[in-house]
């Protein structure tokens, strides 16, 4: 009889495998749709693709929500691997610089000290 730990690991492995399979099926669906809707050209660098290298053409979600896949393709654009990576790097940098990242919040808290706080009270007391 299998132990409880073995059952949990088996169940967890099955859940992860199902999630990967589901994601691959979703991606295949919207990728195939996008490749039918749009010309095989990168929307940023205008590199053209053919059947030999179309695997290097990716579907980018304009709103960065991979679950938002309207049938008309309005949330998609085809980007080559390099432009797609660049777009996500730009998005991450913008997100970080917007002040919503935890590191930036920590820096604000560390720099919140005001050496002149209470100075007005000290000056009033001397009068």
CATH, residue 84: 3.40.1800
107 domain residue, yes or no: no
Residue 75 lies in domain: 11-99
CA distance 105 to 98: 10
CA distance 126 to 85: 61
56 domain residue, yes or no: yes
For the ranges 13-22, 31-40, 89-98, the lowest mean pLDDT is seen at 89-98
CA distance 17 to 6: 16
1 domain residue, yes or no: no
Q: Which residues of 25-58 are buried (b: 16+ CB within 10 A; e: fewer)?
A: eeeeebbebbeeeeeeebbbeebebeeeeeeebb
pLDDT digits (tens, 9 = 90+) for 54-63: 999 999 999 9
27 domain residue, yes or no: yes
116 domain residue, yes or no: no
Task: Please count the structural domains in the chain.
Answer: 1
Rg (CA), the chain: 25
115 domain residue, yes or no: no
pTM given for the model: 0.55
């Amino acid at each position: 009889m299998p132990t409880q730990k073995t059952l949990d690991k088996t169940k967890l492995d099955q859940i992860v495998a199902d999630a990967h399979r589901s994601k691959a099926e979703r991606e295949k669906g919207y990728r195939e749709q996008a490749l039918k809707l749009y010309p095989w050209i990168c929307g940023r660098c205008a590199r053209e693709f053919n059947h030999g290298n179309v695997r290097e053409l990716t579907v980018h979600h304009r709103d960065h929500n991979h679950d938002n896949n309207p049938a008309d393709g309005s949330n998609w654009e085809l980007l080559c691997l390099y432009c797609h990576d660049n777009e996500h790097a730009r998005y991450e940098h913008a997100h970080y610089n917007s002040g919503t990242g935890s590191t930036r919040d920590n820096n604000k808290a560390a720099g919140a000290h005001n050496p002149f706080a209470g100075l007005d009270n000290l000056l009033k007391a001397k009068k």
